[in-house]
A = this chain, B = another copy of it.
């Protein structure tokens, strides 16, 4: 089935499914969003576009930034990054802190909060103007300058993120954070607060479907080998405690955020972004997961 037909059929089928998800409330600013919004956008490596619903409405990308931060860091840091963060799935969330203790402050992978903090610490070594440089990087990937931070969300997260503060202090106690804790946390919360639409996200992640080349300008974002490896990390670690479920049902590398967004990549074919704010019990967009499951089943586009 082609992508247009699949979009159409899945949209219809989703209307028969009761959304039992709940909007994230632990970051107060995120709780104000209208839960009924829904958008999806697919971009192929041949520059075809398929859209659905609120695909041009911007939302908080949250943890999705971690893939972009990792990509940027991999460009700078040839040798040392994998000494400071692993590439293994993290297992169930109940042991996030004990795992950090057990593994002496080395986070399991760069897509959990602890690992992304280490990546932020690395970026602070290399970016002369971290906030500006990072958003410029994202705008370049998306081919769109209308992308920015949301300072209300960043502040809200900074004030209430005691668990993140616990984590970064623990990592620092093992010497695996080099900058001042407040500086890293500020930067981390800024990156979480970036707002993008499905259309922008799909475009921005397309380099992972084209062996690391930005299809807009033909520039190499990252080598083909590193690009494949980032896909591998997304596949294994992109969905917290639901990575297996996502691989199992959707069969694509991807990354979710608590803002309700999910991006997935089919190497050599397309990237797709979907957004629906209510989250399932594991913290991933309830309808986003359903959409992708139905879509990849209909288009038979699992990588497995």
Contact = CB atoms under 8 A, between A and B. Distances in A.
A302 to B, nearest CB: 5
Contacts of A86: 244
B166 A89 contact: no
Interface in A192-241: 225, 228-229, 231-233, 235-237, 241
A241 to B, nearest CB: 6
A108 B91 contact: yes
Interface in A76-107: 86-92, 94-95, 97-99, 101-103
A253 B253 CA distance: 13
Contacts of A229: 248-249, 251, 304
Assembly stoichiometry (copies) = 4
A170 interface: yes
Interface residues of A, number: 52
A163 interface: yes
A101 to B, nearest CB: 6
A248 B87 contact: yes
A198 B51 CA distance: 47
Given A169-B163, A173-B166, A304-B232, A244 B98 contact: no
Q: Which 5 A-B pairs have the closest CB atoms?
A: A91-B91, A89-B89, A231-B304, A98-B98, A162-B173
Given A94-B101, A95-B95, A165-B169, 5 more contacts: A89-B244, A92-B108, A229-B304, A236-B247, A237-B244
